[in-house]
Chains A and B, each alone.
Chain A
Amino acid sequence: MNGFDWNAAGDALPLLLKGFEVTLLATVLGTLVAAVLGLAIAVAGRAPSRWVTVPVRVVMEFIRSTPLLVQLVGAAALFSSVEPLTIGIVVLGVHYATYTSEVYRAGIDGVPKGQWEACRALSLGPRRTWQAVILPQAVRNVLPALGNYAISMFKETPFLAVITVQEMVFEARKYGADHFAYTEAFTLAGLVFLVASYPTSLLMRKLEKRLGH
């Protein structure tokens, strides 16, 4: 084993950063999907009809009980004409939505009963009750937890390489294979992950403290 080849590392960096753009894009869009879909699932879970709540539960259990990797490969095979990055974003988003929906659920449960009663006493309709009163309070309660899921999703984007999305780890492996410099490429990729996610989680912790009631 040779020592760490600094030249190779410097050489790989531009490629990795190009891959990092894809990683970032997948994370941001995937988080968006997870945030919106998770909210929809949480609200649907409170629907008065079982025809809504039971199917939602079944699909959620299915998604949560199978590995992300299997879902990615399965979706890529099923929708082979769709661009891999799109599939990756949707699968990541849907997978995480099953978790963020639980976070939202907790946030909604955390809104005091008196808030619902005040809405009823004022004759506010269900739409207005959710929109103006319940969700703003619920989301505020869970913002830090959602942020943590975004960071966790960020660190799982390398799975997308399996369905040929050219994100950062895909590029690292390619560079490693071409120049036989795996150590350098992967170390550097790891550093980029660290540099990006550590400050973000610090920021989340700060946000958590500020929102703490």
Chain B
Amino acid sequence: MATEPLPLQKPAAAAPRDAVPATAPRAAPETGPPLVRFDDVVKRYGDHVVLDRLNFSVRRGEHVTLIGPSGSGKTTILRLLMTLEKVSDGVIWVDGSPLSHVAAPDGSLKPASEKHLREARKKIGMVFQQFNLFPNMNVLRNITEAPVNVLGMDRAEAEDRARELLDLVGLSGKIDAHPSQLSGGQQQRVAIARALAMRPEILLLDEVTSALDPELVAGVLDLLSDIARNTDITMVCVTHEMNFARDVSKKVLMFDAGHVVESGPPEKIFSDPEHERTRAFLDAVL
């Protein structure tokens, strides 16, 4: 479905943040420093501990899938990364900077202001299970709203880019439609285009096919595989769709009760899991 060339690679010095000298060189996934690092991250809701001193990292350009039983904290990880929620303890590092903290002069880390968070999250995009398109805007406005108002992109330029992205997701004909006129699969494609329009370095995918009718799942998965293959966007996915984990990701992390039980390439995890917990989970879902 993907038409080439894909309009996804970042043109040099297009987005404002590209004008700032990069802090870290673009390194190959296997060697560079981690782009995302969870450092003893704890998340509690009242007495209920969802994540208990979680440590894991994702390298630039890596496509990581988080699997595990419901309630194991996978979605919470994405929500913390998107700063939709605050960590109870520990620090998340993105590109060498603390995500939801700022360093005080004495070197200690203090919780960041909402304004700082808004800046920090520009690097990160998210696609939601329930799409969350803006129902009061047509498809074009859904995609251009943030580039124009957050990145300060020229409206004509943002619309050109939206057209390219709609082409990529196979919905060129729906540019004037409202979300309520689209199927679930189409809405999710628009949501993917909307997230990509912000040129994120990290794309978070939260159960993006769970709310779709079965016959619409494959199309969205194909699209995401294309994006994974043809871009350098770092992807972190939560899914129950094991095909997705196999096709899209290079690394699978198995979670249980707020911990990483096991991690490795999908072939390894799916065919020869080391842990009993992983085996039991895979037996149940496959």
Contact = CB atoms under 8 A, between A and B. Distances in A.
A123 interface: yes
Nearest to B120: A123
A121 B125 contact: yes
Contacts of A117: 82, 84, 128, 132
Contact of B121 (A114, A123, A137): A123
Interface stretch (B21-29, B66-74, B142-150, B159-167): B142-150
A137 B135 contact: yes
Given A123-B121, A123-B122, A132-B145, A115 B132 contact: yes
A133 B128 contact: no
A128 B133 CA distance: 15
Interface in B94-143: 118-119, 121-122, 124-126, 128, 130, 132-137
B118 A122 contact: no
Contacts of B150: 122-125, 128
B83 interface: yes
Interface in A89-140: 112, 114-115, 117-118, 120-125, 128, 132-133, 136-137, 140
The majority secondary structure among interface residues of chain A is helix
Nearest to A128: B149
Contacts of A121: 82, 84, 121, 124-126, 128, 195
Contacts of B137: 132
Nearest to B79: A117
A112 B195 CA distance: 19
A124 B151 CA distance: 10
B37 interface: no
A99 B132 CA distance: 30
How big is chain A's contact interface, by range?
10 to 19
A52 to B, nearest CB: 16
Nearest to B135: A137
Q: Which of A120, A128, A137 has the most CB of B within 10 A?
A: A120
B134 A115 contact: yes
B118 A125 contact: yes
Nearest to A125: B118
Given A117-B128, A118-B128, A123 B136 contact: no
Contacts of A140: 136
Contacts of A118: 128, 132-134
A132 B141 CA distance: 10
Nearest to B118: A123
A114 B130 contact: yes
B198 interface: yes
Nearest to B191: A118
B83 A120 contact: yes
Nearest to A117: B84
B134 A133 contact: yes
Contact of A114 (B122, B128, B195, B198): B128
A132 B119 CA distance: 20
Q: Which 6 A-B pairs have the closest CB atoms?
A: A122-B146, A114-B132, A118-B132, A121-B126, A136-B136, A123-B150
Interface of A: 112, 114-115, 117-118, 120-125, 128, 132-133, 136-137, 140
8 contacts: A118-B134, A121-B121, A121-B124, A121-B195, A122-B198, A123-B121, A125-B118, A132-B137
